[in-house]
């Protein structure tokens, strides 16, 4: 029982609850200064976004086809960890559009169409993944060496 309680407390503080203060109090930063290192180059590639989208589709398909939804509902009500993770996901989907993270990324990449913002923000999980697949690279002009 103590181990599951520690797991619950640890999950609670490393999930959305830990991210909330950062997301609420972070300052908007719509410019990128620095060198695009190897790690950033990998994360920014379209293939990374496509890989994340494909893995998500595979995992969700597996959950729908092979998952036991009645057991999930039972676990949701009986196990704090399952309850917390499910609520964390829902809360993150609600919080994502109101943070400045997505706005800042769109400005850095020169995307001005607000319809793109709302299409991504209102489609939980898949909206941001599709955005990662289709977004343009950071313009070289905004990548200045420090």
Residue keyed to tokens 């070289």: 140
pLDDT of residue 145: 46
Structure token pair of residue 128: 């941001």
Alpha-carbon gap, residue 14 to 91, rounded angstroms: 14
Is pLDDT above 80 for 146? no
Domain that holds residue 50: 2-26+42-141
* Phi and psi angles of residue 144, each rounded to the nearest 5 degrees, phi first: -105, 140
pTM value? 0.78
Task: Tell me, yes or no, whether 33 lies in a domain.
Answer: no
State pLDDT tens for residues 44-93. 899 999 999 999 999 999 999 999 999 999 999 999 888 888 888 888 88
pLDDT of residue 101: 86
Task: Tell me, yes or no, whether 114 lies in a domain.
Answer: yes
Alpha-carbon gap, residue 128 to 121, rounded angstroms: 7
Task: Tell me, yes or no, whether 80 lies in a domain.
Answer: yes
Task: Tell me, yes or no, whether 35 lies in a domain.
Answer: no
User: Which residue from 22, 14, 32 is spatially nearest to 88, judged by alpha carbons?
Assistant: 14
- The packing angle between helices 114-121 and 101-108, to 10°, is 140
Indicate the number of domains in the chain. Answer: 1
Residue keyed to tokens 């343009």: 136
CA angle centred on 29, ends 143 and 110, rounded to 5°: 60
Of 4-8, 17-21, 35-39, minimum mean pLDDT range: 4-8
- pLDDT interval class at 14 (50, 70, 90): low
């Amino acid at each position: 029982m103590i181990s599951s309680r520690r797991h619950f407390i640890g999950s609670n503080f490393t999930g959305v609850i830990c991210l909330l203060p950062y997301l609420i109090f972070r300052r908007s930063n719509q410019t990128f200064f620095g060198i695009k290192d190897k790690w950033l180059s990998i994360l920014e590639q379209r293939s990374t976004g496509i890989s994340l989208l494909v893995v998500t589709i595979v995992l969700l398909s597996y959950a729908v086809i092979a998952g036991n939804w009645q057991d999930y509902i039972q676990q949701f009500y009986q196990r704090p960890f399952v309850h917390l993770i499910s609520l964390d996901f829902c809360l993150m989907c609600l919080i994502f559009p109101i943070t400045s993270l997505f706005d800042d990324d769109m400005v850095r990449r020169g995307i001005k169409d607000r319809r793109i913002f709302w299409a991504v923000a209102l489609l939980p999980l898949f909206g941001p993944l599709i955005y990662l697949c289709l977004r343009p690279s950071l313009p070289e002009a905004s990548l200045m060496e420090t």
